[in-house]
Structure formats: structure tokens, C-alpha cells
């Protein structure tokens, strides 16, 4: 068990580090006039081609074969991870402040902890439950700790943020449950999940957002979008899905919050925005929570 925690935890921490790159790079891309929905769609398309190239280089096209059960699972992952989680979070920012959106979003480890007892039948340890609450406290502290700023949350923003929480928690639980009963192929999963998600995103963007922002894509912005696509989607989700072979969904979701620590550090480095005292304290609480989550439960005699 301890070996699995170490192996799975290392994979999730690497994935969280990759996700942490998204925030500072997305700030630069958004400032250039690119809609974040375009960036999310580009991430999916990039992942489709990257996973297809890897399968071609491995000379194993049989990995793309799937039965009806796998097709349903890949479609579910695409909807949960890309459409609901990514899309819900971006839409919540239209109504909420960034602190409000982030605090609601990072309640997902608690949702995953509760869902794991029902979906995967894996009961989290008491330390891991405590870690979930420490993470929420760390996020609130990092956002300034002003409770009155969260008392008047617009209903529309809350519902979009809740959709994102359900998406990321559901994706984690679904992938963990599937990996317990099937041999999971991360490359095929990335390929098909992003195909299904891209179709839905293209339909949404065409109907509600439009494509005028594509004209602002310069070679420099395109390079940054490729970095986000590689690290923030292809590599990160591949590592994350691989980690769920070794650790429960609840533990994986707790480790994911390392993304906040990375985002704060890289934002200071790349954007020149020095973290404040409460942001540093919030990151420290999150690191303590990750340490608690890494404690392997004792085996019953």
C-alpha cells in the first residue's frame, strides 16, 4: 500500500505541477485577446494529435480498438473532464470573482472523498478527511480569508462552479472505478475522450462565442498555447489517469491541490506578481494537507 501511495502520489504531483503552469500562461494568452474557451478547445485538439502520434510511434494501432463499454466510458470522461470541469469553471468566472470561483472549485476533494465511499467503495482514512478540510481552509486563507466576500455569491456563478466541481470529482471517481475492473490505456483514453469533448466544445463555441478571437493568434501565442496543450492536457491527464491505477480517487484529488502552490510560485516568477503573506500561508496549509493525504492507512489485522 505504501509503495502504491508513493508511486501514485508522485504521478499526481507531476500532473498538478503541469496544471499549475496553466494559470500564468493563460493570463498571458487571455491578455492577447484570445478567449479561454478557444484555449480549452485547442488543448483538446492538441491532445488528440499528440496521443495519436504516440500510438503511431509505438506501432500499436490496436490500442484504438474499443467496445461499447469503453466508448461509453471515454465519452463520459470527455464530458466530465473537459466540458463540465473546464467549461464550468471558465463560465463561473463570468459571474464570480476569482477568489469565489477558486474557493468553490477546490471543495472538489471533499466531494470526491464522499463519493469514493459510494462509487469505488474505498473508505478514506481520517487523516485524508481532515486533509480535505485543511485544503479548503488553505484556499480561503490564500484568497485573503475575508468571509464576507463569499456571502453574496450570484446564483448563476455558483451553479456553473458547482458544475465544474461535479465534473472534476466525477471524472476522478469514474476513471478510478474503471481502472479497478479494466486494464486502462491512458493514450486511448486521452484520444477518444478529447474527440468527444472537442465536438461538444466546437458546437458550443460556434453557437454562443464565435471565432473572431482566432485572428489574434500570433506565432508567440501559438507556441504558448502548444505548451499549455502539452503540459496542461496531454501530459497532465496522462499522468493523472495512470496514477488512479495505484491510489484511490480521494487521495488523488487531495494531491491535485498542489496545482495551487505551483500556480502561485510560477505566477510570481513569470508574471512578476509577488505572493502576499496570506497566499504563502495558504500554500503552506495545502502542503500540510498533502502530507496528511500521503499517509497510507494501516492494514487491519
Does the pTM of the predicted model rise above 0.85? no
- Better pLDDT: 267 or 160: 160
Per-residue confidence (pLDDT) for residue 146, from 0 to 100: 57
Looking at the 3D structure of the chain, how many domains does it have?
1
Task: List the single range of 54-68, 75-89, 147-161 with lowest mean pLDDT.
Answer: 147-161
Residue 234 located in a structural domain: yes
Domain carrying residue 162: 2-293
Residue 301 located in a structural domain: no
Q: Cα separation of 162 and 166, whole Å?
A: 6
Residue 78 located in a structural domain: yes
DSSP state letters, 97-147: -HHHHHHHHTTHHHHHHHHHHHHT--PPPHHHHHHHHHHHHHHHHHTT--G
Percent of the chain at pLDDT > 90 equals 30
What average pLDDT does the chain have?
Answer: 85
Q: Cα separation of 260 and 13, whole Å?
A: 11
Answer yes or no: is pLDDT of 135 > 50. yes
- Better pLDDT: 5 or 126: 126
Residue 71 located in a structural domain: yes
Answer yes or no: is pLDDT of 172 > 50. yes
Residue 298 located in a structural domain: no
Residue 37 located in a structural domain: yes
Answer yes or no: is pLDDT of 271 > 80. no
Per-residue confidence (pLDDT) for residue 268, from 0 to 100: 73
Amino acid at each position: 500500500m505504501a509503495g502504491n501511495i508513493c508511486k501514485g502520489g508522485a504521478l499526481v504531483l507531476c500532473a498538478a505541477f503541469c496544471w499549475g503552469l496553466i494559470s500564468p500562461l493563460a493570463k498571458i494568452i487571455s491578455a492577447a485577446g484570445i478567449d479561454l474557451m478557444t484555449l480549452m478547445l485547442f488543448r483538446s485538439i492538441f491532445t488528440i494529435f499528440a496521443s495519436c502520434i504516440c500510438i503511431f510511434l509505438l506501432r500499436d494501432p490496436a490500442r484504438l480498438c474499443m467496445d461499447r463499454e469503453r466508448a461509453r466510458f471515454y465519452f463520459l470522461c470527455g464530458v466530465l473532464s473537459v466540458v463540465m470541469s473546464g467549461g464550468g469553471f471558465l463560465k463561473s468566472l463570468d459571474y464570480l470573482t476569482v477568489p469565489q470561483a477558486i474557493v468553490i472549485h477546490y471543495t472538489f476533494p471533499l466531494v470526491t472523498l464522499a463519493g469514493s465511499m459510494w462509487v469505488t467503495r474505498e473508505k478514506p482514512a481520517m487523516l485524508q478527511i481532515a486533509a480535505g478540510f485543511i485544503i479548503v481552509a488553505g484556499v480561503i486563507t490564500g484568497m485573503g480569508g475575508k468571509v464576507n466576500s463569499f456571502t453574496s455569491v450570484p446564483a448563476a456563478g455558483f451553479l456553473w462552479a458547482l458544475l465544474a466541481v461535479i465534473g472534476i470529482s466525477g471524472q476522478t471517481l469514474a476513471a478510478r472505478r474503471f481502472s479497478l475492473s479494466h486494464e486502462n490505456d491512458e493514450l486511448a483514453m486521452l484520444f477518444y475522450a478529447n474527440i468527444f469533448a472537442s465536438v461538444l466544445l466546437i458546437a458550443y463555441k460556434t453557437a454562443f462565442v464565435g471565432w473572431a478571437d482566432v485572428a489574434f493568434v500570433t506565432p508567440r501565442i501559438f507556441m504558448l498555447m502548444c505548451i499549455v496543450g502539452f503540459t496542461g492536457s496531454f501530459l497532465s491527464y496522462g499522468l493523472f489517469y495512470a496514477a488512479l491505477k495505484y491510489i484511490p480517487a480521494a487521495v488523488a484529488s487531495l494531491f491535485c491541490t498542489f496545482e495551487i502552490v505551483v500556480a502561485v510560485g510560477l505566477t510570481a516568477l513569470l508574471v512578476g506578481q509577488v505572493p502576499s503573506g496570506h497566499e504563502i500561508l495558504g500554500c503552506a496549509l495545502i502542503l500540510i494537507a498533502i502530507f496528511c493525504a500521503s499517509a497510507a492507512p494501516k492494514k487491519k489485522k
